[in-house]
Structure 1
Amino acid sequence: MTRSRRELLSRAGGALAAVGTTAAAGCLDFAAGDGPQGPEGTPATLSCTDEEFVRLEAPFSEPVETRTVEANGTRVELSTEGTSETYGSSLRLVLRNNGDAAVATRGEHAYSIQRRTGAGWQEVRGSPTGEPVELPREDRSLATNGTYSWSVTLEEDALASGVPGTEIAVCPPLGPGTHRFVYWGVVDAAPVGIEFELVG
């Protein structure tokens, strides 16, 4: 079928307008709140509007060692690729046994994700059911040069689904500020952690 030049230009213009509308809608979606929606900086505390929310309690006491810890003469190191990550990106961490003997651990899920507040470090996750929950623990041995590795996506649903078989949520939403990942699963050793900044 033969079309006039004017008709073809008109159809092309309509297609470009549709693409432009879609692109603008994507920008509006991002501007409407795809970034971190929680409190900024160092909030006084972490408050949740959900009355059923029960925050996870830290199964360890301070102080938290930075990056390395000793367990029965064996050195265990926690490392990360970066200490500043944007909302929705992944924080990659590795716990490695750098010593000459195996170390006992409580498994891969023996970690906390905390936010610095005026009241101290607080876990960002908790139970949405009104009942307290505990993170799963399993007795595992980490051999010499053995590792645990995590890719922690800094987004509420991803953090909530990061522990299989456990119903947890993040409340309030993540916000720009100082956080830390703490592995507390090395038996007979202090917890070891790394601080990182979550940015918009």
Structure 2
Amino acid sequence: MKRTRRDLLRRTAATVTAAGSVGAAGCLDFAAGDGPQGPEGTPETLSCDDADFVRLGQPFEEPVESTTVDAPNTRFELATEGTAETYGQSVRLVLRNTGDGSATALGEYAYSVQRETAEGWLDVRGSTTGAAVDLPRSEATMDPGSSYSWSIELDEAALASAVPDLELAVCPPLGAGTHRFVYWGIVDAPPIGVEFELVG
């Protein structure tokens, strides 16, 4: 069978059109809800339409130290893998006693996940029961070299279920912008945190 140059061009055009259709379908899937759906950038505040939602308060007043903090008799470092993460992926963090002494900490759930807003840093999580709740605290001694580690999945369901036995939700949905993880559970030491950008 003899093929002309015109046949070849027609066949190539059909292949390119089919590939373009697949690409467009992928974009439509992303726009339908696979990415962050909340406010972008630095919103004025975080608003929730659920009347029973009570946002977690900030259990510290001191400025947040970045990456290292001194406690009585020792020092702690907070490390993360990067400064930007995609919605649905995980932020991995390690808090380690890098000094020579021991310190008391309040357990692995003594942390906040906050969003930067025009009125300040606000936790993205809150209670769904209509009443304020406190995160669980359990005193433990952290000896030199000991650590806490977290792998925090950046989607609403994972953040809401990260603390056992608490009915939490994320409201409004996560949005692309500046967030931070703050561990405030080192007794007699300032809170320590790292900022990261959540991207679509």
Shift of 1:158: 0.2
Shift of 1:198: 0.4
Q: Deviation per CA, 1:137-166: give whole Å up to 9, x if none.
A: 001111111010000000000000001111
Aligned to 1:190: 190
Aligned to 2:86: 86
1:23/1:44 Cα in 2 relative to 1: closer, same or farther (>3 Å)?
closer
Counterparts of 2:90 and 2:178 in 1: how far apart (Å)? 16
Aligned to 1:160: 160
Superposition pairs of residues 27-46 of structure 1, within 5 angstroms: 28-46=28-46
Aligned to 1:17: none
Shift of 1:23: 9.1
Amino acid at match of 1:137: R
SS, match of residue 33 in structure 1: helix
Superposition pairs of residues 118-129 of structure 1, within 5 angstroms: 118-129=118-129
Question: Are positions 1:133 and 2:133 aligned together?
Answer: yes
RMSD of equivalent CA atoms: 1.7
Aligned to 2:64: 64
Aligned 8 A contact 2:73 2:103 in 1: no
Shift of 1:133: 0.8
Aligned residues: 181
Aligned to 2:105: 105
Counterparts of 1:165 and 1:24 in 2: how far apart (Å)? 42
Amino acid at match of 2:171: C
Counterparts of 1:153 and 1:28 in 2: how far apart (Å)? 24
Shift of 1:129: 1.3
Aligned to 2:11: none
SS, match of residue 46 in structure 1: coil
Counterparts of 1:185 and 1:79 in 2: how far apart (Å)? 16
Shift of 1:28: 3.5
Counterparts of 1:116 and 1:189 in 2: how far apart (Å)? 23
Counterparts of 1:22 and 1:50 in 2: how far apart (Å)? 38
Shift of 1:106: 0.1
Amino acid at match of 1:148: Y
Shift of 1:30: 2.4
Shift of 1:26: 6.0
Q: Which moved more, 1:85-94 or 1:24-33?
A: 24-33
SS, match of residue 75 in structure 1: strand
Aligned to 1:176: 176
Amino acid at match of 2:60: F
Aligned 8 A contact 2:73 2:102 in 1: no
Return the TM-score normalized by structure 2.
0.86
Aligned 8 A contact 2:97 2:145 in 1: yes
Q: Deviation per CA, 1:35-91: give whole Å up to 9, x if none.
A: 000000000000001111000001101311011111103110001000100100000
Amino acid at match of 1:35: G
Counterparts of 1:24 and 1:38 in 2: how far apart (Å)? 23
Q: Deviation per CA, 1:169-194: give whole Å up to 9, x if none.
A: 00000000000000000000000000
